[in-house]
Amino acid sequence: MMEEDVRFMRIALGLARRGEGLVNPNPMVGAVVVKDDRIIGTGWHERFGGKHAEVNAIEDAKRKGHDVKGATMYVTLEPCSHWGKQPPCADRIIKEGISRVVIAVEDPNPLVSGRGIKKLRAAGIEVEVGLLGEEARKLNEVFIKYITTRIPFVSIKLALTLDGFIATESFSSQWITGEAARARVQELRKKHMAIMVGSGTVLRDNPRLNCRLDNCPEKVKVVLDRSGRVAEEVRRGRRFNLFEDGRAIFFTEKPEKFEGIAEAYPITEPEEILKKLGELGIDSVLIEGGRAACGFLPLADKFYLFYGPKLFGRGINPFECLKVETAERAFPLRIDSVEMLGDSVLVTAYPGGRDV
């Protein structure tokens, strides 16, 4: 039976992933209802505020004419016990007469955190927790950080030459990585609610900072613009692509310059900027601005380093601010995966010495 359990939970994890980028700041959740070793219903949390995975799976089974009484449910996150935008899933599972629930990971939401499991057990349901827990935790690394700290999950994305430069000394940086790598960046933008860059990137490249995949929600574009140079350019009549969709937020020493132009907050320390974004309901930030990334290094949760097949020999090193003097003081990383993307390589890493 154990092998079967793993198989069904994997399917539930695959379903959960379909909600990526569409449910933030909620978790991605998938559920499978099984009876007599056959899947009779599947569901996932499809959009923020929408029905939860368990309810979608139960309703799917019923729509197909199945009786869920006595069935087993595989769900990637502990069923909720509280009233939010949706009613408590634990109550619905009990009411439907499901007799066994296999859960990948406990819900870290302080409003739930074990109460859903308790409720199910108190109703006589057999509950198992922890199957593929590591995968489930990784899938919801953004949700887990944000719901427990109210600080957004911070990813740093960089496109580098193999010798570690993001641009030449004259800031030319086009086409370091290939098409496949750039397509992956779109997926990363989908996963994160906000995209952050420095004003230098905006003034030089005039990026859209949007997500061009199907069904991708509009992004919050965060710009660090100490002296308000973007506002000055706007007043001179220059148009910036990042204003075309979504929401733009500037952190600046001169918020007054942005009056009538964009939402702006006083620039502070990186910690304070993240705290502010958390207060604004943003659960995740993808830092794309090469040099803007350095100040956020100690706060980063994940690194996406794309290496293109080029050498510059000299240029802009995005990690220059580290100024490491001796090898033992290096900024430590733990490599999670390495992928070939066309002619480029993606190294995904976490800060060293810290578990996900």
Where do contacts with Zn ion occur on this chain (CB under 5 A)? 52, 80, 89
Instruction: Name the residue nearer to ligand AOF (CB basis): 87 or 200.
Output: 87
**SS3 label, residue 59:** helix
144 binds, among ligand AOF, Zn ion, none (CB under 5 to 8 A by kind): none
Give the Cα separation of 105 and 128 in Å (integer).
Answer: 10
For ligand AOF, the nearest residue by Cβ is 84
- Shortest distance, CB of residue 162 to ligand AOF, whole angstroms? 41
Q: Which of 291, 288, 306, 318 is nearest to 207 (CA)?
A: 288
Q: Which of 4, 20, 46, 54 is catalytic?
A: 54
84 binds, among ligand AOF, Zn ion, none (CB under 5 to 8 A by kind): ligand AOF
Instruction: Name the residue nearer to Zn ion (CB basis): 89 or 287.
Output: 89
Query: What are 8's two structure tokens?
Result: 């069904």
Instruction: Name the residue nearer to ligand AOF (CB basis): 89 or 300.
Output: 89
Instruction: Name the residue nearer to ligand AOF (CB basis): 128 or 245.
Output: 128
109 binds, among Zn ion, ligand AOF, none (CB under 5 to 8 A by kind): ligand AOF
Site of interaction with ligand AOF (CB under 6 A) = 26-27, 29, 45, 52-54, 77, 79-80, 84-86, 89, 107, 109, 112, 147
H/E element holding 303? strand 302-308
Give the Cα separation of 78 and 54 in Å (integer).
Answer: 10
- Shortest distance, CB of residue 147 to ligand AOF, whole angstroms? 6
HEC letters along 35-50: ECCEEEEEEECCCCCC
209 binds, among Zn ion, ligand AOF, none (CB under 5 to 8 A by kind): none
Residue 124, classified by CB atoms within 10 Å of its CB into exposed (0-12), middle (13-18) or buried (19+), is exposed
**SS3 label, residue 286:** strand
Tell me, rounded to whole angstroms, the distance of Cα 213 from its chain centroid: 15
Torsion of CA 162, 166, 170, 175, to 10 degrees: 80
224 binds, among Zn ion, ligand AOF, none (CB under 5 to 8 A by kind): none
Residue 54 designated active-site: yes
Instruction: Name the residue nearer to ligand AOF (CB basis): 142 or 231.
Output: 142
Give the number of residues written for the chain.
356
Q: Which residues are catalytic?
A: 54
